[in-house]
């Protein structure tokens, strides 16, 4: 099979998505978001998200096939996010994908959603060079991975010990009164602020903790420090310089991510850093990673914005990798895994 055609289905959180990938070509890409329904609650409500997935599943898959001018008969395999993610949301996508696979007689792959965030970069940049390092930054994950052989062998180099970068941003955004999701608001305000106005700590970078966790991340203390600063300024009756707070936070977080990623590249002799996950849409992080990459002789591959957030293209692309590698499809009765480890590429 020269260029496998895979239908990818995504439903881990608040996006229902379906896409068709042929080899390294994105043929169609459909995303339906329920984000507006969650905004009034200040975060994703799993029950609302699950219901939205159930409503959007058939329209999304139908449109992905129509846009590609295909039917299920034209597809070589189906891939679906089986974890990590919200259990109810995963159940909707996996149940629907199993029904499609059973009805069409197509092989089905239950894949790791987070690894999909790495795989999707191939649509833009091509195959992975040997010993690639990958930085995953999203609402729930901040991890550094060594991709020895995609999709057969991936090792975890470092991971977040508490809040992920995206969680930290969302929590600070709430303190500043921004609506959910807060990340884009912090990004926009940061562009107008002074990144050195406020001293924001950098977790696990100094002293004994930094030495013990050279590649791990901790952003809980960052969130707390910014919260304390805001509380102190408010108690003194000072007006909060929102732009400066956002710029200082964004710069600090981006600096930690970039430094640790470059240190990992040096450790593994990697000349390529793949970046993926919703938080990689952040403009300060993108600029900082490209700046550090140039300084250290590392090619930084950051996908276009539409491929950073959750989408079906990343699921389909990882499915293509699994088909090409000759890896057996998932067993028909595989279960979702809401806390799937990053070393598991497919079930």
What are the binding residues for substrate? 136-140, 170, 183, 187, 282
Closest CA to 176 of 248, 252, 258: 248
User: Kind of pairing, strands 5-10 and 15-22?
Assistant: antiparallel
**Edge-to-edge strand list for the sheet holding 132-137:** 153-159, 142-149, 132-137, 272-276, 299-301
201/199 Cα distance (integer angstroms): 6
Helix (H, G, I), strand (E, B) or coil at 211: helix
Q: Which residues are annotated as a binding site?
A: 113, 117, 136-140, 170, 183, 187, 282, 310
Helix (H, G, I), strand (E, B) or coil at 14: coil
Scanning the structure block, which residue is given the tokens 């896409």? Answer: 19
DSSP string, 32-74: EE-HHHHHTTTS--HHHHHHHHHHHHHHHHHHHHHHTT--GGG
Q: Which residues are annotated as a binding site for Fe cation?
A: 113, 117, 310
Helix (H, G, I), strand (E, B) or coil at 25: strand
Stated as kind and residue range, the H or E segment containing 87 is helix 87-104
322-327-333 Cα angle (round to 5): 95
4/320 Cα distance (integer angstroms): 6
Scanning the structure block, which residue is given the tokens 């999701």? Answer: 181
Helix (H, G, I), strand (E, B) or coil at 23: coil
């Amino acid at each position: 099979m020269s260029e496998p055609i895979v239908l990818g289905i995504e439903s881990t959180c608040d996006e229902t998505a379906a896409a068709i990938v042929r080899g390294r070509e994105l043929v169609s890409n459909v995303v339906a978001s329920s984000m507006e329904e969650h905004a009034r609650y200040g975060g994703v409500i799993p029950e609302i998200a699950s219901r939205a997935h159930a409503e959007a599943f058939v329209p999304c898959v139908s449109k992905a096939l129509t846009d590609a001018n295909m039917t299920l008969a034209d597809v070589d395999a189906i891939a679906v996010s089986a974890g990590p993610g919200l259990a109810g949301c995963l159940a909707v996508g996996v149940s629907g994908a199993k029904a499609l696979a059973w009805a069409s007689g197509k092989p089905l792959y239950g894949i790791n959603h987070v690894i999909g965030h790495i795989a999707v970069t191939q649509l833009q940049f091509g195959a992975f060079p040997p010993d690639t390092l990958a930085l995953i930054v999203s609402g729930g994950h901040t991890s550094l991975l060594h991709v020895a052989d995609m999709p057969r062998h991936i090792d975890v180099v470092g991971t977040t010990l508490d809040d992920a970068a995206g969680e930290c941003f969302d929590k600070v955004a709430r303190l500043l009164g921004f609506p959910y999701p807060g990340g884009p608001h912090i990004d926009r305000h940061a562009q107008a602020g002074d990144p050195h106005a406020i001293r924001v700590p950098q977790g696990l970078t100094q002293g004994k903790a930094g030495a013990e966790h050279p590649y791990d991340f901790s952003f809980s203390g960052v969130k707390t420090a910014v919260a304390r600063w805001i509380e102190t300024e408010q108690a003194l009756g000072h007006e909060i310089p929102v732009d400066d707070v956002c710029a200082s936070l964004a710069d600090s977080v981006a600096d930690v991510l970039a430094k640790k990623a470059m240190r990992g590249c040096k450790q593994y002799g990697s000349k390529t850093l793949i970046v993926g996950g919703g938080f990689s849409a952040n403009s300060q992080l993108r600029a900082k990673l490209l700046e550090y990459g140039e300084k250290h002789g590392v090619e930084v591959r950051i996908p276009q914005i539409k491929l950073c957030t959750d989408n079906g293209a990343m699921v389909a692309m990882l499915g293509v990798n699994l088909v090409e590698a000759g890896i057996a499809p998932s067993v028909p009765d595989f279960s979702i895994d809401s806390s799937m480890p990053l070393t598991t590429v497919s079930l």
